[in-house]
Amino acid sequence: MKSAYELAMEKLDAGEPKRKELTAEQKEQLADISQKFSAKIAEREVFLGKQIEKARAEGDYAEEQNLLKQLASDRATLTEDMEAQKEKIRNQ
């Protein structure tokens, strides 16, 4: 008789599709994508960071909040794009 743990693990294995091993080329492509998008995110952080500091210095807190929201949105968009590109490579 199987334990509850063993049954749960079997269900987990059955419901989860197996991922194939990535080739060295795919791993390299994934690393390149990560590096490229990390650079893009850093670029946006530097660009908007300067504007955020300027808005703080001027006491324009509404503009500061708008820029912080824009930065968060840009990060999320770039991260989604990065994950989409990575998933394409993983599914090749």
**Domain residue spans in the chain?**
47-92
**Cα–Cα distance, 68 to 71 (Å, whole number):** 5
Return the pLDDT at 92.
83
What's the predicted TM-score (pTM) here? 0.74
State the amino acid at position 53 in one-letter form: E
SS (H, E, C) 55-75: HHHHCCHHHHHHHHHHHHHHH
**89 neighbors 26 (Cβ within 8 angstroms):** yes
Q: What is the pLDDT of residues 27-61, one digit of tens each?
A: 999 999 999 999 999 999 999 999 999 999 999 99
**Cα–Cα distance, 21 to 69 (Å, whole number):** 38
